[in-house]
Copies of this chain bind each other. A is one copy, B any other.
Amino acid sequence: MAIRRLRDSSCSVARSLSLLGERWTLLVVREALTGTTRFETFREHLGLTADVLSDRLATLVEGGILRREAYQEPGRRTQYEYFLTETGRELHVVIGALQQWGDTNLPRPEGPSTLRRSELTDAPVRVAFVDPEGREVHHDRVDIIDVDGVDERAQQAG
Protein backbone atom coordinates (compact mmCIF):
# COMPACT_ATOMS: atom_id res chain seq x y z
CA MET A 1 0.00 0.00 0.00
CA ALA A 2 2.69 2.44 1.05
CA ILE A 3 4.73 1.53 -2.02
CA ARG A 4 1.77 2.01 -4.31
CA ARG A 5 1.05 5.42 -2.80
CA LEU A 6 4.67 6.42 -3.32
CA ARG A 7 4.74 5.12 -6.90
CA ASP A 8 1.66 7.16 -7.75
CA SER A 9 3.07 10.20 -6.03
CA SER A 10 3.35 13.48 -7.89
CA CYS A 11 6.87 13.84 -6.49
CA SER A 12 9.61 12.14 -8.46
CA VAL A 13 11.79 11.80 -5.33
CA ALA A 14 9.01 9.65 -3.85
CA ARG A 15 8.63 7.67 -7.08
CA SER A 16 12.39 7.11 -7.30
CA LEU A 17 12.53 5.94 -3.68
CA SER A 18 9.62 3.54 -4.23
CA LEU A 19 11.85 1.72 -6.71
CA LEU A 20 15.25 2.29 -5.08
CA GLY A 21 14.49 2.89 -1.40
CA GLU A 22 14.55 -0.68 -0.15
CA ARG A 23 17.63 -1.51 1.86
CA TRP A 24 20.43 -2.84 -0.39
CA THR A 25 18.91 -1.86 -3.72
CA LEU A 26 21.19 1.15 -4.28
CA LEU A 27 24.15 -0.83 -2.97
CA VAL A 28 23.52 -3.46 -5.67
CA VAL A 29 23.55 -0.62 -8.24
CA ARG A 30 26.79 0.79 -6.76
CA GLU A 31 28.33 -2.67 -7.05
CA ALA A 32 27.18 -2.98 -10.69
CA LEU A 33 28.75 0.42 -11.45
CA THR A 34 32.14 -0.98 -10.41
CA GLY A 35 31.76 -3.74 -13.01
CA THR A 36 30.27 -6.63 -11.04
CA THR A 37 27.92 -8.75 -13.18
CA ARG A 38 27.66 -12.20 -11.57
CA PHE A 39 25.39 -13.31 -8.74
CA GLU A 40 28.19 -14.84 -6.68
CA THR A 41 30.37 -11.74 -7.00
CA PHE A 42 27.50 -9.47 -5.86
CA ARG A 43 26.93 -11.84 -2.94
CA GLU A 44 30.58 -11.95 -1.89
CA HIS A 45 31.12 -8.20 -2.17
CA LEU A 46 27.88 -7.17 -0.46
CA GLY A 47 27.64 -9.99 2.10
CA LEU A 48 23.95 -10.57 1.32
CA THR A 49 21.91 -13.75 1.60
CA ALA A 50 20.99 -15.33 -1.75
CA ASP A 51 17.28 -14.65 -1.07
CA VAL A 52 17.71 -10.91 -0.47
CA LEU A 53 20.07 -10.55 -3.45
CA SER A 54 17.67 -12.45 -5.77
CA ASP A 55 14.85 -10.21 -4.66
CA ARG A 56 16.81 -6.97 -5.23
CA LEU A 57 18.12 -8.12 -8.63
CA ALA A 58 14.55 -9.01 -9.69
CA THR A 59 13.31 -5.55 -8.61
CA LEU A 60 16.09 -3.88 -10.59
CA VAL A 61 15.47 -5.99 -13.74
CA GLU A 62 11.72 -5.32 -13.48
CA GLY A 63 12.42 -1.60 -13.02
CA GLY A 64 14.57 -1.47 -16.17
CA ILE A 65 17.77 -0.66 -14.25
CA LEU A 66 19.53 -3.97 -14.90
CA ARG A 67 19.19 -6.38 -17.82
CA ARG A 68 19.81 -10.09 -17.40
CA GLU A 69 21.86 -12.20 -19.82
CA ALA A 70 22.26 -15.97 -19.78
CA TYR A 71 25.71 -17.55 -19.87
CA GLN A 72 26.92 -21.10 -19.47
CA GLU A 73 30.26 -22.50 -18.40
CA PRO A 74 31.21 -25.98 -19.68
CA GLY A 75 29.48 -28.71 -17.70
CA ARG A 76 27.43 -26.28 -15.59
CA ARG A 77 23.82 -25.16 -15.81
CA THR A 78 22.78 -21.84 -17.34
CA GLN A 79 23.48 -18.84 -15.13
CA TYR A 80 22.81 -15.13 -15.50
CA GLU A 81 24.84 -11.97 -15.61
CA TYR A 82 23.40 -8.55 -14.80
CA PHE A 83 24.30 -5.38 -16.70
CA LEU A 84 23.23 -1.80 -16.08
CA THR A 85 20.94 -0.30 -18.72
CA GLU A 86 21.26 3.39 -19.67
CA THR A 87 18.54 4.06 -17.03
CA GLY A 88 20.74 2.24 -14.53
CA ARG A 89 23.94 4.02 -15.55
CA GLU A 90 22.14 7.34 -14.99
CA LEU A 91 22.00 6.40 -11.29
CA HIS A 92 25.77 7.00 -11.15
CA VAL A 93 25.10 10.65 -10.31
CA VAL A 94 22.69 9.66 -7.46
CA ILE A 95 25.22 7.20 -6.02
CA GLY A 96 28.00 9.76 -6.49
CA ALA A 97 25.97 12.38 -4.62
CA LEU A 98 25.27 10.00 -1.72
CA GLN A 99 28.92 8.97 -1.56
CA GLN A 100 30.14 12.56 -1.59
CA TRP A 101 27.69 13.52 1.17
CA GLY A 102 28.80 10.53 3.27
CA ASP A 103 32.50 11.24 2.73
CA THR A 104 31.97 14.82 3.95
CA ASN A 105 29.47 14.27 6.73
CA LEU A 106 30.05 10.70 7.94
CA PRO A 107 33.80 10.39 7.22
CA ARG A 108 36.02 7.41 8.01
CA PRO A 109 39.29 8.18 9.84
CA GLU A 110 41.24 6.65 6.94
CA GLY A 111 39.47 8.79 4.31
CA PRO A 112 37.15 7.91 1.41
CA SER A 113 37.09 4.31 0.17
CA THR A 114 36.30 5.41 -3.36
CA LEU A 115 37.35 8.28 -5.61
CA ARG A 116 35.89 9.37 -8.96
CA ARG A 117 38.00 10.66 -11.82
CA SER A 118 37.35 11.88 -15.32
CA GLU A 119 38.29 9.15 -17.79
CA LEU A 120 39.46 11.85 -20.19
CA THR A 121 41.59 14.13 -17.98
CA ASP A 122 42.13 11.96 -14.85
CA ALA A 123 40.96 14.97 -12.79
CA PRO A 124 38.84 14.23 -9.67
CA VAL A 125 35.11 14.86 -10.19
CA ARG A 126 32.36 15.94 -7.80
CA VAL A 127 28.57 16.00 -8.08
CA ALA A 128 27.07 19.50 -8.26
CA PHE A 129 24.25 21.59 -9.67
CA VAL A 130 25.14 23.03 -13.09
CA ASP A 131 23.37 25.56 -15.30
CA PRO A 132 22.77 25.07 -19.07
CA GLU A 133 26.28 26.43 -19.82
CA GLY A 134 27.74 23.70 -17.58
CA ARG A 135 28.71 26.20 -14.86
CA GLU A 136 28.42 25.08 -11.25
CA VAL A 137 25.68 26.66 -9.08
CA HIS A 138 26.06 26.37 -5.27
CA HIS A 139 23.25 24.35 -3.65
CA ASP A 140 22.22 27.31 -1.48
CA ARG A 141 21.70 29.35 -4.68
CA VAL A 142 19.26 26.83 -6.21
CA ASP A 143 15.55 27.71 -5.94
CA ILE A 144 12.93 24.95 -5.92
CA ILE A 145 9.88 25.81 -8.04
CA ASP A 146 6.72 23.84 -7.18
CA VAL A 147 5.08 23.53 -10.60
CA ASP A 148 1.87 21.89 -9.33
CA GLY A 149 1.50 24.56 -6.65
CA VAL A 150 1.88 27.29 -9.27
CA ASP A 151 -0.77 25.63 -11.45
CA GLU A 152 -3.16 25.31 -8.52
CA ARG A 153 -2.71 28.93 -7.55
CA ALA A 154 -3.15 30.01 -11.19
CA GLN A 155 -6.40 28.00 -11.40
CA GLN A 156 -7.66 29.49 -8.15
CA ALA A 157 -6.82 32.97 -9.44
CA GLY A 158 -8.30 32.32 -12.90
Tell me the A residues contacting B by CB distance below 8 Å: 2, 5, 10-17, 19-21, 23, 26-27, 30, 33-34, 47, 64, 87, 89-108, 111-121, 123-137, 139-148
Q: Are A19 and B125 in contact (CB under 8 A)?
A: no
Question: How many copies, total?
Answer: 2
Whether the Cβ atoms of A93 and B129 lie closer than 8 Å is: yes
Pair B145/A116 contact, Cβ less than 8 Å: yes
For A125, what are the chain B residues with a Cβ–Cβ distance below 8 Å? 129-131, 137, 142
Q: Please name all residues of chain B whose beta carbon is closer than 8 Å to the beta carbon of A148 when the two chains form the complex.
A: 113
Q: Given the known inter-chain contacts A106-B19, A116-B142, A146-B114, please indicate yes or no for A13 contacting B26, CB distance below 8 A.
A: yes
Q: What residue in chain B is nearest A85 (Cβ atoms)? A: B105
Given A19-B106, A118-B131, A123-B132, A92 contacting B12 (CB threshold 8 A): no
